[in-house]
């Protein structure tokens, strides 16, 4: 299966491929987080026959229904494999002192020994965030460390 | 004094509320609000239907802020890498676009006997499509997934980049008197531009760090502050405030750019509306009838040359005849840039220029969103004809299912240069 990736300057990315039955299907990922599921016209392969606009959340649900392996589930499996390592997806609440502040400010690894490996935001995964990454309320922060360490991060995100 | 403040608020309030209603009307009709804002400006100006005096001071400053915000947010949409990458791949199509569409304006101005500065301005006015209108129309019509769309967007990127070079050249030519002074200030402007672009490419991260972090309020104030500072500094060396803020937008990248777009978007919309009204205000509506015929001629040529541009650019990318026509029709809209350019022409260059451009943009901002819709049935006919021709030239494939063209298009030699084949396997 050939997956084609095309940049749409100023808008986002488009991925498309031809199914075994000869239909071309694509997904337009807009920077705003919105997704468009497009089905190409069999008569005119350059045009879309149907366009279905999905919010970030709807896109996530559809992906799940189509059976995409979810990162969190895989992390859960990883946790079972390695004893002594704990992984948790922690929510940055509205009233968290770190909403609007950077990862560097929080100094999580120095203070707890646990590492932030990824952040889920609006259905998107931001892997290995850098120190200048700014937390927003509603982010789900994936943390890996000892059980105590992960627990300490939860406290840190809640109370500072 | 008290009475003055009262009339100021009432008049300004009436103008803004009126614009809001016009914008809603435009949305209902599926048109761009720009022509309606221009008409509102013409109506409120001296000699118009409903002359307003008081808010002029606010509108003057507001319109300048509007230009800065328009260009800042435009710059934010692109990263420096994206611009350079596009330049490499789409340079021939972009060059064709600028020559094919700029030349009619240039020739027109010279035929009218307008001075060379005006001719240079007319080149830009007819060449530049409105990326704002076009990306909105493509989204509204559900054409983001179409295979000609990357070509259309790439042409727009090249145009925006060309503007970054063109605007400082134009402003320094306008400011200078005499050939030698003009050449010198153009060279200075281009040198400054080069340095700023280099900074954006090399040290974009550091520039971003200066303004990132903190609450929304703090980021908003810092970004707006830096934008005005940069715009002012650029204006001081005759590189035009607009270009300064465009380059700042390019330098800001990643997560911050995303955030700033959300914060400044509504502010941009407000001040951009003020900008269009102000341009209408400063145009003499009495000149409009005589300018309309000239503008109509320019518009007819402008539609034809843009359609030709889109056709050629899409063919280069291996798109079929239907998509080529759609690409051309999508590119027709002109708008904010044409008005920004004519707004730079300070002083009395020629009475007819501003009304002609106003009428031209009025026409093109209305025709622009309509053209892709009108071209659609025609594009469909082209597709059917191409199918019939393909079927008759290859008799063996006449009974093949209709689903094969998708794969033939993908394997055609001219696949769009932006396409990266990943060939990912199922995991």
CATH of residue A78's domain is: 3.30.70.1450
Residue A62 forms part of a structural domain = no
Which of A4, A10, A45 faces B153 most closely, judged by CB atoms? A10
- Do residues A88 and A135 share a domain? yes
- Do residues A33 and A86 share a domain? no
Residue A60 forms part of a structural domain = no
Q: Name chain B contacts of A6, Cβ cutoff 8 Å.
A: 150, 416, 418-420
Distance from the B104 Cα atom to the nearest Cα atom in chain A, whole angstroms: 28
**What does the alpha-carbon distance between residue B317 and residue B84 come to, in Å, rounded to a whole number?**
19
Domain count, chain A: 2
CA-based angle A119:A123:A124, to the nearest 5? Answer: 55
Q: Domain segments of chain B: what residues?
A: 1-284
**What does the alpha-carbon distance between residue A150 and residue A128 come to, in Å, rounded to a whole number?**
17
- Do residues A106 and A151 share a domain? yes
Residue A132 forms part of a structural domain = yes
Q: Among the three residues A30, A54, A78, which one is the final residue of a domain in this structure?
A: A54
Q: Which of B75, B146, B154, B426 to mutate to test the interface with A (most CBs of A within 10 A)?
A: B146
φ and ψ at B346, to 5 degrees? -80, 155
Tokens standing for residue B234? 């650029």
- Do residues A100 and A50 share a domain? no
Angle between helices B2-29 and B254-281 (to 10 degrees): 110
Range of the domain at A105: 67-159
- Do residues A95 and A36 share a domain? no
Residue A93 forms part of a structural domain = yes
Instruction: List C-alpha distances in Å: A67 to A20, A22, A27, B254, B341.
Output: 18, 22, 16, 30, 52
Distance from the A124 Cα atom to the nearest Cα atom in chain B, whole angstroms: 13
pTM: 0.76
Residue A61 forms part of a structural domain = no
Q: Name chain A contacts of B215, Cβ cutoff 8 Å.
A: 100
| ipTM of predicted assembly, 2 dp | 0.73
Q: Which long-range contacts (CB under 8 A, 24 or more apart) does B18-26 make?
A: B19/B273, B19/B277, B23/B273
Element (H, E) at A36: strand A35-40
- Do residues A37 and A72 share a domain? no
- Do residues A38 and A74 share a domain? no
**What does the alpha-carbon distance between residue B333 and residue B132 come to, in Å, rounded to a whole number?**
9
Round the CA-based radius of gyration of chain B to a whole number and report it.
23
**What does the alpha-carbon distance between residue B237 and residue B388 come to, in Å, rounded to a whole number?**
60
Q: Name chain B contacts of A51, Cβ cutoff 8 Å.
A: 142, 144-145
- Do residues A153 and A104 share a domain? yes
Look at the alpha carbons of B415, B419, B422, B427 in this order and tell me if their dihedral is positive or negative.
negative
The yes or no reply on domain B1-284 and CATH 1.20.1530.20 is yes
Q: Say whether residue A121 is in contact with chain B using an 8 A CB cutoff.
A: no
Residues 6+ apart with CB under 8 A from B34: B130, B133, B276, B335, B336, B361, B365
Tell me if A5 and B320 make a contact (CB, 8 A cut-off).
Answer: no
**What does the alpha-carbon distance between residue B214 and residue A102 come to, in Å, rounded to a whole number?**
8
**Number of CB pairs, chain A paired with chain B, less than 8 A apart:** 147
Residue A117 forms part of a structural domain = yes
Would you write out chain B's pLDDT as a tens digit for each of its 427 residues?
556 788 888 888 888 898 999 999 988 887 888 889 988 888 887 777 777 775 677 888 898 999 999 999 988 888 777 777 778 888 899 999 999 999 999 999 999 999 989 999 999 999 999 988 898 889 888 899 999 999 999 999 899 888 888 988 888 888 877 778 888 888 887 887 788 778 877 887 787 888 877 788 898 999 999 999 989 988 887 777 888 888 888 888 777 888 888 889 899 989 999 999 888 888 888 888 889 999 999 999 999 999 999 999 999 989 999 999 999 999 999 988 899 898 888 666 778 888 999 999 999 988 999 999 999 999 989 988 888 888 887 655 444 444 444 444 444 444 444 455 444 443 3
Bridge partners for B84 per DSSP: none
Q: Say whether residue A58 is in contact with chain B using an 8 A CB cutoff.
A: no
């Amino acid at each position: 299966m050939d997956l084609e990736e095309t940049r749409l300057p100023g808008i986002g990315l488009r991925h498309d491929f031809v199914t075994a039955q000869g239909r071309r299907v694509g997904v337009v990922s807009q920077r705003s987080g919105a997704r468009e599921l497009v089905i190409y016209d069999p008569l005119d392969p350059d045009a879309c026959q149907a366009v279905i606009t999905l919010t970030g959340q709807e896109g996530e649900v559809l992906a799940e229904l189509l059976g995409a392996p979810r990162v969190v589930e895989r992390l859960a499996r990883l946790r079972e494999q390695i004893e002594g390592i704990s992984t948790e997806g922690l929510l940055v609440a509205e009233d968290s002192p770190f909403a609007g502040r950077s990862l560097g400010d929080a100094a999580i690894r120095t203070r707890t020994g646990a590492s932030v490996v990824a952040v889920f935001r609006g259905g998107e995964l931001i892997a290995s965030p850098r120190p200048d990454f700014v937390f927003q309320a509603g982010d789900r922060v994936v943390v890996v460390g000892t059980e105590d360490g992960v627990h300490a991060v939860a406290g840190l995100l809640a109370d500072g | 004094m008290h009475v003055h403040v009262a009339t100021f608020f009432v008049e300004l309030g009436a103008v803004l509320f009126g614009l809001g209603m016009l914008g809603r009307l435009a949305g209902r009709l599926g048109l761009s609000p720009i022509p309606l804002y221009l008409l509102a400006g013409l109506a409120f100006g001296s000699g118009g239907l409903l002359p307003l005096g008081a808010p002029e001071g606010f509108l003057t400053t507001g319109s300048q802020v509007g230009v800065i915000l328009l260009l800042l947010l435009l710059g934010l949409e692109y990263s420096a890498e994206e611009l350079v990458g596009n330049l490499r791949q789409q340079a021939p199509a972009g060059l064709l676009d600028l020559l094919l569409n700029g030349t009619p304006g240039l020739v027109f101005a010279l035929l009218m006997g307008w001075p060379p500065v005006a001719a240079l301005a007319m080149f830009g006015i007819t060449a530049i499509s409105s990326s704002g209108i076009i990306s909105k129309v493509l989204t509204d019509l559900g054409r983001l997934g179409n295979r000609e769309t990357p070509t259309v967007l790439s042409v727009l990127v090249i145009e925006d980049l060309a503007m970054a070079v063109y605007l400082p050249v134009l402003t320094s030519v306008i400011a200078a008197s005499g050939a030698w002074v003009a050449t010198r200030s153009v060279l200075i402007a281009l040198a400054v531009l080069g340095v700023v672009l280099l900074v954006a490419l090399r040290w974009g991260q550091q520039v971003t760090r200066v303004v990132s972090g903190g609450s929304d309020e703090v980021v908003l104030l810092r970004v707006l502050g830096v934008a005005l500072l940069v715009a002012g500094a650029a204006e001081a060396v005759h590189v035009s405030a607009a270009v300064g803020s465009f380059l700042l937008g390019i330098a800001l990248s990643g997560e911050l750019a995303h955030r700033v777009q959300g914060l400044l978007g509504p502010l941009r919309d407000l001040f951009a509306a003020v900008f269009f009204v102000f341009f209408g205000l400063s145009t003499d509506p009495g000149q409009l009838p005589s300018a309309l015929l000239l503008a109509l001629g320019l518009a007819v040529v402008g539609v034809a040359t843009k359609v030709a541009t889109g056709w050629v650019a899409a063919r280069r990318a291996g798109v079929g005849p239907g998509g080529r026509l759609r690409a051309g029709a999508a590119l027709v809209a002109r708008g904010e840039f044409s008005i920004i350019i004519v707004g730079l022409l300070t002083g009395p260059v020629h009475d007819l220029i501003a009304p002609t451009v106003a009428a031209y943009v009025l026409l093109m901002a209305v025709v622009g969103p309509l053209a892709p819709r009108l071209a659609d049935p025609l594009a469909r006919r082209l597709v059917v004809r191409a199918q019939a021709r393909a079927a008759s030239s290859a008799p063996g494939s006449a009974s093949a299912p209709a689903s094969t063209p998708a794969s033939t298009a993908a394997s055609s030699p001219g696949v769009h240069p932006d396409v990266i084949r990943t060939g990912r396997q199922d995991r």
